[in-house]
Structure 1
Amino acid sequence: MDTTEQEEVLLPLKTNYQGYVAWGEYPHNFAAVLGQEECYRLILAKGGNHDFQDINGNTVAHILVVFDNMKMFDMAVECGAAINIENKMGLTPLTMAAYLARMDMFFHIASIEREVYWQIGNVTCSAYPLKYLDTIHSETGELQVNSALNLIVFGPNLDLIEYVIVDLLNVKYKSFIRKVFMRQFIVFLCFLLLSVFVFVTRPGPPPSTRPCDFNATALMYSNSTDLNSTLLGRVGLDVEGSGMDLVGSGLDYVLENLTDFLSLLETNSNATAGLLLNSNSSSTNSTSLKKVSGKKCKIPEDEKDYCYLQSYETTFEQVRVGCEMVLVVWSLGYLLSALHELSFLGWKMFKENLGMCPSRCLFLTACFLCLICVPARIFCYSGLEDRLSICIMGFTGFYMLFFCRGFKLVGPMVIMIYRMLAQDLAKFGIVFFIFLMAFSQALYMVFQSFHFTTENDELAAKILENQGNCPSGEEDCLENPMPTPIESIIMAFMMSNGDLDGVWQSLPFTSHALIGKIHWALFVMIVYLLLLNLLIAMMGDTYAKTVLITERGIAPKERLRQQDAYCDINSFGEKALVMKQFLSDEKVEEINEIIEMKITHRKNIDRRRAKFGYESVSKMGLNMVGASVIVPDSSDGTEPENPYEDEPTINKSALMGDFEQ
Structure 2
Amino acid sequence: MGSGHSQEQKVQSMGRLQEDRKLYRLVDMHGGGELIPWFRYALTSGDTSILDAYIDTKVRDFMYNQGKGKVCTVTELVKLRNKERNERLGAFSRKKGKGKSGPNVLDDFNQEGENVGDLKKALKLLDGGGKGGKGESKYRDITWKLDERGSMGETIIGICLLQGTDMHNKLALKILDSYPKLVNDINVSEDYYGLTLLHQSIVNQDVKMAYTLLKRGADVSTRCYGAFFCADDQKATRTDSLEHEYVELSAKTNYTGTMYFGEYPLSFAACMNQPDCYRLLLAKKANPNAQDTNGNTVLHMCVIHENMNMFRVALENGASLRMTNKQNLTPLTLAAKMAKEKMFTEILEIEGERVWAYGDASSTAYPLAKIDTINEVTGDLNENSALSLVVYGETPEHLELLDGLLEELLEEKWKAFGKAKLAQSVLAFSLHWSLVTLAFFLRPISLSTSLSTDGWITKYGYAATKSTVSTDPSKLGTPLVPFANGTYSAVPWNAQDIQCHLLNYASSSDWENHIRLAAEMSVLLSVMIQMFLDVQDIRYIGASKWWNILKAFPAKIAYKTSFLFILFTVIIRSSCRLSAELVVVDNILACITVLMTTIHFLFYCRAINFVGPFVLMVYTIIATDIRRFIFIYGIFLVGFSQAFYLVFLSCERVKNEAVSSKSNATYLATLSQIQRNSLEQAIIFENVIQGPVEAFIRTFILTIGEFTVLYRNLALCPANIMVWIGKSVFLIFEMGVSILQFNLLIAMMTRTYEAIFRTKKEYKRQWAQVILMLELSLSPSNRLMYLLKYSRPTGTNKRARSLVVNTKITEEEKNSLDGVAKTEEKLKRAAEEKKAIIKWKLKDMEQKESNRPTTSFNRTPRPVSRR
State TM-score, norm by structure 1. 0.69
Letter in 1 for 2:808: F
Quickly say closer, same or farther: Cα 1:49–1:374, change in 2 above 3 A. Answer: closer
The structure where helix makes up a greater share of residues is 2
Is contact 1:114–1:127 with CA below 8 Å preserved after alignment?
A: yes
- Taking the TM superposition and a 5 Å limit, the aligned residue runs for 1:159-558 are 159=399, 160-206=401-447, 207=450, 208-209=455-456, 211-212=464-465, 214-215=467-468, 299-301=493-495, 303-304=497-498, 306-307=500-501, 308-314=504-510, 317-374=513-570, 383=583, 385-450=586-651, 468=683, 479-480=686-687, 482-501=689-708, 508=715, 509=717, 510-512=723-725, 515-516=728-729, 517-540=731-754, 541-558=765-782
Q: Which moved more, 1:381-390 or 1:108-117?
A: 381-390
Letter in 2 for 1:332: M
Instruction: Name 1:256's counterpart in structure 2.
Output: none
Is contact 1:332–1:371 with CA below 8 Å preserved after alignment?
A: no
Q: CA deviation at 1:551?
A: 1.0
Cα separation, 2, equivalents of 1:399 and 1:369: 15
Cα separation, 2, equivalents of 1:318 and 1:447: 54
Q: CA deviation at 1:59?
A: 1.4
Q: CA deviation at 1:395?
A: 2.3
Cα separation, 2, equivalents of 1:363 and 1:116: 46
Is contact 1:124–1:580 with CA below 8 Å preserved after alignment?
A: yes
Is contact 1:444–1:482 with CA below 8 Å preserved after alignment?
A: yes
Is contact 1:335–1:368 with CA below 8 Å preserved after alignment?
A: no
Is contact 1:56–1:87 with CA below 8 Å preserved after alignment?
A: yes
Q: Deviation digits for residues 323-363 of structure 1, max 9, x if unmatched?
A: 33222222211221121122112111222233222333332
What SS is found at the alignment partner of 1:579?
strand
Instruction: Name 1:564's counterpart in structure 2.
Output: 788
Instruction: Name 2:859's counterpart in structure 1.
Output: none
Cα separation, 1, equivalents of 2:293 and 2:262: 8
Letter in 2 for 1:549: M
Cα separation, 1, equivalents of 2:387 and 2:796: 22
Quickly say closer, same or farther: Cα 1:544–1:460, change in 2 above 3 A. Answer: farther
Is contact 2:606–2:615 with CA below 8 Å preserved after alignment?
A: yes
What SS is found at the alignment partner of 1:542?
helix
What SS is found at the alignment partner of 1:356?
coil
What SS is found at the alignment partner of 2:357?
strand
Q: CA deviation at 1:587?
A: 9.7
Instruction: Name 2:358's counterpart in structure 1.
Output: 120
For CA contacts below 8 A with separation 6 or more, give which structure has more relative contact order: 1
Q: Which moved more, 1:118-127 or 1:559-568?
A: 118-127
Quickly say closer, same or farther: Cα 1:463–1:13, change in 2 above 3 A. Answer: same
Letter in 2 for 1:3: D
Identity value in percent: 28
What SS is found at the alignment partner of 1:80?
coil
What SS is found at the alignment partner of 1:581?
strand
Cα separation, 1, equivalents of 2:772 and 2:391: 8
Cα separation, 1, equivalents of 2:301 and 2:694: 60
Instruction: Name 1:580's counterpart in structure 2.
Output: 806
Cα separation, 2, equivalents of 1:398 and 1:326: 20
Cα separation, 1, equivalents of 2:483 and 2:804: 84
Q: CA deviation at 1:64?
A: 0.9
Quickly say closer, same or farther: Cα 1:351–1:462, change in 2 above 3 A. Answer: farther
Matched, 1:156 2:394: yes
Cα separation, 1, equivalents of 2:772 and 2:486: 69
Letter in 2 for 1:142: D
Is contact 1:450–1:511 with CA below 8 Å preserved after alignment?
A: no
Q: CA deviation at 1:109?
A: 1.1
Q: Deviation digits for residues 349-405 of structure 1, max 9, x if unmatched?
A: 222233222333332333344345456556655825444333322222112221222
Cα separation, 1, equivalents of 2:806 and 2:469: 94
Higher Rg of the two aligned structures: 1
Is contact 2:328–2:384 with CA below 8 Å preserved after alignment?
A: yes
Letter in 2 for 1:400: F
Matched, 1:3 2:255: no
Q: CA deviation at 1:189?
A: 0.3
What SS is found at the alignment partner of 2:291?
coil
Quickly say closer, same or farther: Cα 1:360–1:458, change in 2 above 3 A. Answer: farther
Cα separation, 1, equivalents of 2:298 and 2:484: 97
Q: 2:310 aligns with which of 72, 92, 99?
A: 72
Is contact 2:625–2:748 with CA below 8 Å preserved after alignment?
A: no
Is contact 2:505–2:517 with CA below 8 Å preserved after alignment?
A: no
Letter in 2 for 1:404: C
Q: Deviation digits for residues 59-82 of structure 1, max 9, x if unmatched?
A: 111111111112222222233322
Is contact 1:443–1:519 with CA below 8 Å preserved after alignment?
A: no
Matched, 1:29 2:267: yes
Q: CA deviation at 1:297?
A: 11
Structure 1 runs not aligned, ≥5 long:
219-265, 275-293, 471-477, 593-631, 633-661
Cα separation, 2, equivalents of 1:147 and 1:564: 18
Cα separation, 2, equivalents of 1:538 and 1:551: 30
Q: Deviation digits for residues 481-514 of structure 1, max 9, x if unmatched?
A: 5553333332332233233555555655414256
Q: Deviation digits for residues 230-283 of structure 1, max 9, x if unmatched?
A: xxxxxxxxxxxxxxxxxxxxxxxxxxxxxxxxxxxx9x9999999xxxxxxxxx
Instruction: Name 1:137's counterpart in structure 2.
Output: 375
Quickly say closer, same or farther: Cα 1:407–1:457, change in 2 above 3 A. Answer: farther
Q: CA deviation at 1:524?
A: 3.7
Cα separation, 1, equivalents of 2:779 and 2:340: 32
Cα separation, 1, equivalents of 2:433 and 2:248: 53
Q: CA deviation at 1:175?
A: 0.9
Q: Which moved more, 1:343-352 or 1:318-327?
A: 318-327
State TM-score, norm by structure 2. 0.54
What SS is found at the alignment partner of 2:804?
strand
Letter in 2 for 1:110: L
Q: CA deviation at 1:457?
A: 12
RMSD between aligned residues: 3.9
Q: Number of aligned pairs? A: 514
Cα separation, 2, equivalents of 1:491 and 1:402: 36
Q: CA deviation at 1:576?
A: 0.9
Cα separation, 2, equivalents of 1:271 and 1:71: 89
Quickly say closer, same or farther: Cα 1:31–1:318, change in 2 above 3 A. Answer: closer
Is contact 1:138–1:560 with CA below 8 Å preserved after alignment?
A: yes
Q: CA deviation at 1:94?
A: 0.6
Structure 2 runs not aligned, ≥5 long:
1-237, 459-463, 472-479, 659-672, 718-722, 755-764, 822-827, 829-867
Cα separation, 2, equivalents of 1:175 and 1:568: 14
Q: Deviation digits for residues 444-491 of structure 1, max 9, x if unmatched?
A: 445554479999999989878xxx4x6xxxxxxx74555533333323
Quickly say closer, same or farther: Cα 1:326–1:515, change in 2 above 3 A. Answer: closer
Cα separation, 2, equivalents of 1:377 and 1:441: 40
What SS is found at the alignment partner of 1:175?
helix
Is contact 1:449–1:511 with CA below 8 Å preserved after alignment?
A: no
Cα separation, 2, equivalents of 1:359 and 1:122: 46
